[in-house]
Structure 1
Amino acid sequence: MMTNVISIKKIYKILAELEQTAIELDNSNSKLKAHILLQDSPLFSIDLFSTNSDLFIDYVEEIKNKTAQLERLIQNTNDELSKYQIDILEKQITSLHNAFQSNSNIHNEAQNRLNAIKNRRYKKAVKAVIQPTKNVYQNLSEHHEFERRLSQMLHDKEQERLKAPKNTLDKLSQEVLALHQRLGRCRQAISKIEADIVKFESRN
């Protein structure tokens, strides 16, 4: 029992450090224009976190809640469920730590995409306004097909991660995260195309 108490204290100590880092990164990210491309997209697979957010602090809160659950399980000497909960916590803490380390690279990539978007908008502003309806709907159809393929890829990757050995989980979790972000960007593009169609048809 004493060992379990010590383990819980260690987890809470780690959580305090994670929370501080999460607050700092969330605050820093909120000041980046490129972060808008990452908003409303979950950072992790639904199999890893039930939280759906682009804020690190929300995932820390989920880990804190699971730690409180673990503490109650230990007090009730429920060893089997305790071991299961500890395994989940280890995966979540490791994945969150990896995401912290990848934060700069993710936002640098987003900034490059934002710059590219601005350049395309500048060069194609006039063409976009007068784009024929047929081409707009074709573009929408292509994006829907891309969304379908990404969703299937994401599902397959999550299934692969569920069956993968522990030493490959971090890599697969990063791949799942990247697919979530690509799917989010695709859906944002679909929303913009649909808005363009509404504007186009309202003028005709």
Structure 2
Amino acid sequence: MKSSISIEKIYVILADLEETASILDNSNSKLKAHSLLQDSPMFSVNLFNTNSDLFTDYVIEIKSKTAQLSRLIKNKNDELSKYQIELIEKQISSLHNAFHSNKNIHDEAQNRLNAMASRRYKKAVKAVIQPSQNLYQNLSEHHEFERRLLQMLQDKEQERVQASSATFNKLSQDVLTLHQRLGRCRQAISKIEADIVKFESRN
């Protein structure tokens, strides 16, 4: 009789659990943060065989365990009945705790979701800003190179003016080489400036 009453009490508790589980599952399904918890088990494999992110699925397992308990009691299998009752009690207690922790778990998941979104945003901003920074840095380096070439060219021109006939031809060749390098540098500057215009027009 006592076992019979215990079974009845378990089914009453399960009815309440099922109602709460259904409400929470419905509420969780509307949360973006729940996407991080989907298809992940809520409990240890030592406690539940079920592998789900839905509370209702765990209530179904407890129902199944309770039906097994009822058969064990009818067959007067006291040893297994005692073990089954202890397991069911642990499952019910764990499910109650999970109900109370549901909000905190989803708040933590939302924080992780926010952090992921923040990282994606920073990465997207970097993808836009970094190329622009690289172009301007490259332009700055070429302008510095142009400045150094102009200074070198000025120095060589002064040397050539004061040069003897023996070194004049050599200095003339150096001046020509510097003019060629300066021309290539200015072409590179023009290309970089064009790339900057294209990049900024796309963004």
After TM superposition, the structure 1 stretch with the greater mean CA deviation from structure 2, 118-127 or 32-41, is 118-127
Q: If you compute each CA radius of gyration, which structure gives the higher value, 1 or 2?
A: 2
Determine the structure 2 residue equivalent to 1:121: 120
The answer to whether 1:97 aligns with 2:88 is no
Query: Does the residue aligned with 2:2 lie in a helix, a strand or coil?
Result: helix
Determine the structure 2 residue equivalent to 1:87: 86
1:116 Cα offset (Å) = 1.2
Determine the structure 2 residue equivalent to 1:27: 26
Determine the structure 1 residue equivalent to 2:46: 47
TM-score, structure 1 normalization: 0.61
**1:163-182 alignment runs, 5 A limit:** none
- Moved beyond 3 Å, runs of 4+: 126-129
1:113 Cα offset (Å) = 1.1
Query: Does the residue aligned with 1:54 lie in a helix, a strand or coil?
Result: coil
Query: Does the residue aligned with 1:44 lie in a helix, a strand or coil?
Result: coil
Alpha-carbon separation, structure 2, partners of 1:72 and 1:25: 31
1:115 Cα offset (Å) = 1.1
The answer to whether 1:112 aligns with 2:111 is yes
Determine the structure 2 residue equivalent to 1:17: 16
1:87 Cα offset (Å) = 0.6
TM-score, structure 2 normalization: 0.61
Q: Which amino acid is the alignment partner of residue 38 of structure 1? A: L
Q: Which runs of 5+ in 2 are unaligned?
A: 129-203
CA spacing shift, 1:83–1:118, aligned 2, 3 Å: same
Q: Which amino acid is the alignment partner of residue 32 of structure 1? A: L
Q: Which amino acid is the alignment partner of residue 35 of structure 1? A: H
Q: Which amino acid is the alignment partner of residue 4 of structure 2? A: V
The answer to whether 1:6 aligns with 2:24 is no
Q: Which runs of 5+ in 1 are unaligned?
A: 130-204
Aligned length: 128
Alpha-carbon separation, structure 1, partners of 2:12 and 2:48: 21
CA RMSD of aligned residues (A): 1.4
1:126 Cα offset (Å) = 6.0
Alpha-carbon separation, structure 1, partners of 2:16 and 2:124: 47
Alpha-carbon separation, structure 1, partners of 2:10 and 2:35: 32
The answer to whether 1:37 aligns with 2:15 is no
Q: Which amino acid is the alignment partner of residue 28 of structure 2? A: N
1:106 Cα offset (Å) = 0.4
Structure with the bigger RCO (C-alpha within 8 Å, sep 6+) is 1
Determine the structure 1 residue equivalent to 2:158: none
Identity %: 77
CA spacing shift, 1:78–1:122, aligned 2, 3 Å: same
Q: Which amino acid is the alignment partner of residue 120 of structure 1? A: R
1:125 Cα offset (Å) = 2.5
Q: Which amino acid is the alignment partner of residue 93 of structure 1? A: I
Alpha-carbon separation, structure 1, partners of 2:40 and 2:105: 13
Alpha-carbon separation, structure 2, partners of 1:46 and 1:59: 12
Determine the structure 2 residue equivalent to 1:78: 77
